[in-house]
Structure 1
Amino acid sequence: MTTRHLYIARHGAADPFGTLTETGRRQAELLGKRLAALPITAIWHSPLPRAAATALELVRHLTDAPVAEAAELIDNIPYVPPAETMPASWAGFFDGYAEADAAAGRRTADALTERFATAGPAGNGVTERHEVLITHDYPIAWLVRHALEAPPARWLDLTSANAGLTVLTYRAGAAPTIMMFNDMSHLPVDLRWTGFRPGLRP
């Protein structure tokens, strides 16, 4: 049976210009140490600098895994709910968001799931893959929503902390398994919950 394990993480904390902060580098280092014992076969990252820099920090601990950019992991809004189903707390967030932007975001979201949310053929006699995806809050929410087969708007209620780890497993002929979501046990208390809006932090 072909099996694909995705270890998905939001990039480390970054400044307003998208550069990893010292906190972000420490988060990435600890994430790399956590993943170091696993047989990682590839590291994919978003084109944005904060994700690429996080992936490079991981390479120090995952030295045998090739690293590559994946356009599908870009930070984007995957789905804009229709006005009649828009949660009131999110309505202002989408003000001025054009229909063309929404359509482009959905195309990117669909490309993301088509490429990564599948067991897929491993090829060359390989039946199991372990891949790291370094991306952003919204794509992680979309992948988890997709794994749950939840309505598209449910991505709005899912948030990931910087360097929080989500693990999804895909097996040929079976429904996806969410092994964990936004796990931060590899981070000390002072490095947890960055990236969360203040009202969502415990």
Structure 2
Amino acid sequence: MTGRYLHLVRHGEAAGGVLTGNGRRQATAVGKRLAALPITALHHGPLPRAVQTARLIAAELPGVPVHESEACGDYIPPVGDRAALPQVFRDHLAEVTEAEYTEGEALARAALQAHARPADTETHELIVTHAFTVGWFVRDALDAPEPRWLGLNAVNCGLTTILYRHGRPPALVAFNEVSHL
């Protein structure tokens, strides 16, 4: 089917900001799973756990170009009216500064601008990122209100796939698919 398949993977299990042994095994497993697809590019965020996960996945995808991107990183996507959020989410975000909200909104919108669009030919792109960013893409694909990314929890090295086609709304093909683990 013609369109852009955007595959999103949350980084592997980490402790202290770096992958654990289990996180490395998870990353290698998802890489082997993705090797069956014609991945055209791998994008990843700049934090060590995403970089390490991307490197392990890329080892299973020879020849696929790898790109580091702030927009594929870890940030707070838009939440709308913070006062209207459920208390549990307000508590979770209590330490977020205005600067972090502003930067997160810009990065989240840049990520969608760069990746959440149809293609004229069938393409498969991969983003290795963080839970909030996976949730942001899924929220957008479902045309849900901005704060709904908060209720989505991407598992470590779970595979989420969104299909973007001309003239159709995005299709959530898979969310948190983990049969490779």
Residue 84 of structure 2 corresponds to residue 85 of structure 1: yes
Task: Output the TM-score relative to the length of structure 1.
Answer: 0.85
Query: How far has the Cα of 1:138 moved from its partner?
Result: 0.3
AA partner of residue 110 (structure 2): A
Aligned equivalent of 1:69: 68
Gaps of 5+ in 2: none
Percent identity between matched residues is 44
Which secondary structure does the structure 2 equivalent of 1:90 belong to?
helix
AA partner of residue 135 (structure 2): A
Following the alignment from structure 1 to structure 2, what is the Cα–Cα distance between the partners of residues 38 and 76?
Answer: 28
Following the alignment from structure 2 to structure 1, what is the Cα–Cα distance between the partners of residues 95 and 61?
Answer: 42
Stretch deviating more after TM superposition (133-142 or 60-69) = 60-69
| 1:158 aligned to which of 130, 148, 152 | 152
Stretch deviating more after TM superposition (154-163 or 95-104) = 95-104
Query: How far has the Cα of 1:73 moved from its partner?
Result: 0.7
Task: Output the TM-score relative to the length of structure 2.
Answer: 0.94
Aligned equivalent of 1:13: 13
Query: How far has the Cα of 1:80 moved from its partner?
Result: 3.1
Which secondary structure does the structure 1 equivalent of 2:67 belong to?
strand
CA deviations on 1:160-188 (whole Å, 9 max, x unpaired) are 1100000011112211010000111111x
Q: Is the 8 A contact 1:9 1:135 kept in 2?
A: yes
Query: How far has the Cα of 1:135 moved from its partner?
Result: 0.3
Following the alignment from structure 1 to structure 2, what is the Cα–Cα distance between the partners of residues 106 and 44?
Answer: 19
Following the alignment from structure 2 to structure 1, what is the Cα–Cα distance between the partners of residues 78 and 125?
Answer: 25
Aligned equivalent of 1:146: 140
Alpha carbons of structure 1 residues 100 and 19: separation in structure 2 relative to 1, 3 Å: closer
Query: How far has the Cα of 1:2 moved from its partner?
Result: 5.5
- Larger radius of gyration, structure 1 or 2? 1
CA deviations on 1:6-31 (whole Å, 9 max, x unpaired) are 11100111111x11110000000110
Gaps of 5+ in 1: 188-202
AA partner of residue 124 (structure 2): H
Q: Is the 8 A contact 1:80 1:94 kept in 2?
A: no
Length, aligned pairs only: 181
Which secondary structure does the structure 2 equivalent of 1:150 belong to?
coil
Aligned equivalent of 2:47: 48
Alpha carbons of structure 1 residues 111 and 14: separation in structure 2 relative to 1, 3 Å: same
Following the alignment from structure 2 to structure 1, what is the Cα–Cα distance between the partners of residues 15 and 91?
Answer: 24
CA deviations on 1:107-148 (whole Å, 9 max, x unpaired) are 11111111111115x5xxxx1211111000000000000000
